[in-house]
Amino acid sequence: MHKVYVEDYGCWLNKALAAYIRQLVAREAVIVERAEEADAVIVNTCAVRAESERKVLARLRELARMGKRVAVTGCLVNVRPYSIVEAAPGASLIEPSCLDEIEKFLRGEDVWCVREYRRAAFAARYNGGVRFAVPIQVGCTGSCSFCVEPIVRRGVASLEPDRVVELVADAVRRGAKEVYLTGQDVAAYGVDLGTRLTDLLQRILSEVDGEYRLRLGMMEPWMVSRLARDLAALMRDRRVYKYLHLPLQSGDDGVLKLMRRKYTVSEYEQLVSFFRREVGELSVVTDMIVGFPGETQEAFMRSVEAVRRLRFDKVHVARYTFRPFTPAYVAGNTVPEPEKKRRSRVLSQVALRVAAEVNSSYVGRELYALVCERGEREGTLVARTDAYKPVVVPEGAKLGEWVKVRIRGFTPLHLIGEVVD
């Protein structure tokens, strides 16, 4: 049989789709752990940032020099098809809605499936481990001026509710303890099917028995606001992590308007306040872009103040990078790169100080947590509290086990604890 290596880049959605690709490959070939061992390589790409694009194209050039037969899928295919072919001549291109075309590639055919925009959603079955990621939807209802998503995918495609429930039930029955519901905008789930995310959550919680935790992926604020009351009620269930990933992107209303975001800073703050009031202890994570065209120093300082005021548990800070086919690509009032770097450094430092202050409040508490992964440092494990707070503990507990932890320290990125009887 042919030997195939699968390489993936990007977010949890891409990781979940890479699992589907590997299951497709396993029907036709042997999966190997290194590109050097493979007859063919499948690269699942990311296009969210220019840096990601450069990294992927450099890797494709390397694979081409190795003489590998290559298929490229993921977000970059619809954005930069000719750059891909230039980097890896003869590569098969398979856009994200055409993943089943990989079977043709595995049979030796050359495939060109670019900008076909089929209405399709894909998901792998559980294949062991503590964590199982289900890509419940792809696509977005927004039209943000910085985002290349409308070129990558058009509209929303959701996995049928029956399929989601069946996949989750099978995973929990076979040992999964964490289930990640992932997507481009998880709150947009079902807009194409005439259903809602909260309907899906209600079905999972009522039909899937077991001691597990659901984690919701990134959700756009304007979609969450439509579901807020029902979603908050469901998040009070012990099987749902008290965790919200809500991108703010800027703390300035003028910049939000330039970005074509569908909310104001005040509306965002009210939404976060509502969930904190209704759910209780809750981790709130956000994304912020600095250096967007038209962002003045005053506007940037409003972002800094918003991070201080909202006391996020974690902030992903990104310097704005130009993406092709987006309105912001041709915008004026650009911010010089050195200034973007300065703003990124300032906001990152503020975000870390805020996170450290939030985490310091946990010291001395005893909490139940799920041991879910090995730590970065040798001899450690990471457990997650009900609010999805990572707690680093010494080895001794088992992966997939619920333990009581006493918090004895913190960093801006995690809590430090010990397992107690």
Could you read off the pLDDT of 252-263 as tens digits, one per residue? Answer: 999 999 999 999
By the 8 A CB rule, do 273 and 232 touch?
no
In a domain, residue 302? The reply is yes
Q: What is the mean pLDDT of residues 379-408?
A: 96
Say if residue 139 is in the same domain as residue 272: yes
In a domain, residue 126? The reply is no
Say if residue 305 is in the same domain as residue 344: yes
Question: Which residues lie below 8 Å from residue 336, measured CB to CB, with a gap of 6+?
Answer: none
Q: Mind listing the pLDDT tens digit for each residue in 258-277?
A: 999 999 999 999 999 999 99
pLDDT, mean over the chain: 95
CB atoms within 10 A of CB 254: 14
In a domain, residue 161? The reply is yes
In a domain, residue 121? The reply is no
| Domain end marker among 308, 338, 360 | 360
Say if residue 97 is in the same domain as residue 204: no
Q: What is the mean pLDDT of residues 134-150?
A: 91
Say if residue 322 is in the same domain as residue 412: no
- Look up the CATH number of the domain holding residue 308: 3.80.30.20
In a domain, residue 336? The reply is yes
Question: Which residues lie below 8 Å from residue 394, measured CB to CB, with a gap of 6+?
Answer: 379, 380, 381, 418, 419
Say if residue 91 is in the same domain as residue 211: no
In a domain, residue 123? The reply is no
pLDDT of residue 69 exceeding 90, the answer is: yes
Say if residue 177 is in the same domain as residue 312: yes
Question: Which residues lie below 8 Å from residue 235, measured CB to CB, with a gap of 6+?
Answer: 242, 275, 279, 282
- Record the tokens describing residue 13, joined without a space: 């959605």
Say if residue 96 is in the same domain as residue 142: no
Say if residue 209 is in the same domain as residue 234: yes
In a domain, residue 326? The reply is yes
- pLDDT (0 to 100) of residue 329: 64
- pLDDT (0 to 100) of residue 300: 98
Quote the percentage of the chain above a pLDDT of 70.
99
Say if residue 233 is in the same domain as residue 181: yes
pLDDT of residue 332 exceeding 80, the answer is: no
| Domain end marker among 360, 378, 403 | 360
Quote the percentage of the chain above a pLDDT of 90.
88
Q: b/e string for 286-315 if b means 16 or more Cβ within 10 A? A: bebbbbbbbbeeebbebbbebbeebebbbb
Under DSSP, is residue 72 helix (H, G, I), strand (E, B) or coil? strand
| Domain coverage including residue 195 | 131-360
- pLDDT (0 to 100) of residue 335: 94
Closest CA to 295 of 287, 303, 284: 303
By the 8 A CB rule, do 382 and 419 touch?
no
In a domain, residue 122? The reply is no
pLDDT band at 49 (very low <50, low <70, confident <90, very high): confident
Say if residue 154 is in the same domain as residue 94: no
pLDDT of residue 10 exceeding 90, the answer is: no
Q: What is the mean pLDDT of residues 127-134?
A: 96
Closest CA to 289 of 299, 278, 276: 299
- Structurally, the chain folds into a number of domains equal to 3
- Record the tokens describing residue 99, joined without a space: 């993943």
pLDDT of residue 87 exceeding 90, the answer is: yes
- pLDDT (0 to 100) of residue 1: 57
- Look up the CATH number of the domain holding residue 411: 2.40.50.140
Sign, CA dihedral 289-293-295-300, equals positive
What CA–CA distances, in Å, run from 371 to 75, 337, 339, 398?
32, 41, 41, 7
Say if residue 137 is in the same domain as residue 20: no
Q: What is the mean pLDDT of residues 151-179?
A: 96
- pLDDT (0 to 100) of residue 330: 67
| Domain end marker among 360, 392, 410 | 360
Say if residue 189 is in the same domain as residue 61: no
